[in-house]
Chain A
């Protein structure tokens, strides 16, 4: 089941904040967040695991509500470099060789 991302698109001025949501109809083991710039491969941002563990970097944070089967990505004090398409990828179970199921993406444009 493909996760649902919202909003589809966001336009910000530099320094503004944004929240991107990712919801699933199934129980999740983990949620991954990636950013992709035009013509490039996706770049890892965050991973949130069932049980509260998370790994990430940069000035971006995220939350994972296991009960609601949803995750939110928080972009604060946005920079021009934050522009791109954000994808969440979800896993429904643990175990090796499991595949990620990707959302349709949220396009973010940060303007000066």
Chain B
């Protein structure tokens, strides 16, 4: 049982390049999330999904797009990368959205934009 798997683990981009981060979960969870984590700050929610075919904006959605075509996969896209998007990106999933519901995290993607 792999849990939540993120690819790639590391990536270096030049300003203006595009890329897609892939998140896959094998727990049959309805909810999936993309966060970014920057030094000295808490995790910030970029986008989330409450089920296959749905997406919603989080706290910091600008510059990112997402898609949830299959229940097990949640993709995060950067259309035109900027140095401000240098960060560690974490994907998470949960069974429901309500209180007491544990979010399970992937190992993270470390992205540098030069």
Bind each other: no
